[in-house]
Amino acid sequence: MRLDKFICLSTELSRVQAVASINAGLVLVNGSTELAQTTQVHENNCIEMQGEVLKRRAFRYIVMHKPLATICSNVAEGYPSLLSLLPLSNTSELHIAGRLDVDTTGMVLITDDGRWTYNITLPTKRCHKVYRVGLAKAIDEEAALALIDKFKQGIQLQGESELTLPATLQVIAPQEVLLSITEGKYHQVKRMFAAVGNKVRRLHREQIGALTLDLAVGQWRYLSDAEVLSFMD
């Protein structure tokens, strides 16, 4: 990461204060004064400021049950930011690993570990996300088999050149299904059902990887070490 960001994540300095410290020649990288705030540093570098070796704060890994009418953003934009529900310091350093729309509820994972996030969000990592979907139109028994196969083969979304990756569809009731996908395209679940002539009325994410939602609406907790490791290669 950039040197100025590393300093912010290792101290209580703001970005402006971190840059000022670098410009003043107060920061050493591997024993040499570093004056470029954009210099890329890594965990194996020794970074010192005024004689103190800096250590990045420990990463945070959080699961939350997202309520309706909240947005997966660091800033409130018409709706409250989901991060405003966390009574924690330095929430600006956090991000959401796989966002949900304002009208979608369910599991979100929150962290400040960007590499960990890649294991959840990159389609090549094949991390399954399971959604409980309420539909406008009922699916009869005969149509269900064809629809399950269609989702398995991939759906052609409007404006996309390629089919979606294979998805698993399970019909729970005529107007309720469970859908498991490994991608996170823009409004993907809603667009998938629109492509087959249906409309999503309710959308709730209840599982990511092997982790299932065990919290009441609005509640959160830190992940255990085992849960964190379950998303790592």
Q: At 132, is the secondary structure helix, strand, or coil? A: strand
pLDDT of 153 reads 97
Q: What is the mean pLDDT of residues 199-206?
A: 98
Q: What is the mean pLDDT of residues 62-91?
A: 93
| pLDDT, mean of residues 112-123 | 94
Q: What percent of the chain has pLDDT over 70?
A: 100
DSSP 206-230: EEETTEE--S-TT-EEEPPHHHHHT
Mean pLDDT value across the chain:
95
| pTM exceeds 0.85 | yes
- 216 CB burial (10 A radius; 0-12, 13-18, 19+): exposed
Write down the catalytic residue from 101, 103, 214, 233: 101
Mean pLDDT, rounded, for 198-208: 98
Taking residues 191-210, report their average pLDDT.
Answer: 97
Q: Quote the pLDDT of residue 89.
A: 87
pLDDT-derived band of residue 90, with 50, 70 and 90 as boundaries? confident
Q: What is the mean pLDDT of residues 190-217?
A: 97
Report which of 233, 190, 175, 231 is spatially closest to residue 207, judged by C-alpha positions: 231
Which has the higher per-residue pLDDT, 231 or 89?
A: 231
Question: Residues 103-128: what's their mean pLDDT?
Answer: 95
Beta carbons of 21 and 35 less than 8 angstroms apart: no
> What's the confidence (pLDDT) of residue 229?
96
Q: Which residues contact 101 (CB under 8 A, 6 or more apart)?
A: 187, 190, 203
Helix 3-10 vs helix 15-23: crossing angle, to nearest 10: 120
Partner residues linked to 32 by β-bridges: 29
pLDDT digits (tens, 9 = 90+) for 140-169: 988 999 999 999 999 999 999 999 999 999
pLDDT tens digits for 31-75?
999 999 999 998 899 999 999 999 988 999 999 999 999 999 988
CA 16 to chain centroid: 27
How confident is the model at residue 1, as a pLDDT? 86
Q: Check if 214 is active-site.
A: no
Domains within the chain, CATH numbers bracketed: 3-53 (3.10.290.10), 61-123+214-229 (3.30.70.580), 128-208 (3.30.70.1560)
- In the 8-state DSSP scheme, what is residue 74? S
Q: Torsion-angle region of residue 175: left (phi > 0), alpha (psi -120 to 50) or beta?
A: alpha
Q: Which of 8-17, 172-181, 219-228 has the lowest mean pLDDT?
A: 8-17
Place of tokens 């290669």: 233
Query: Of 148, 147, 155, 149, nearest to 190 (Cα)?
Result: 155
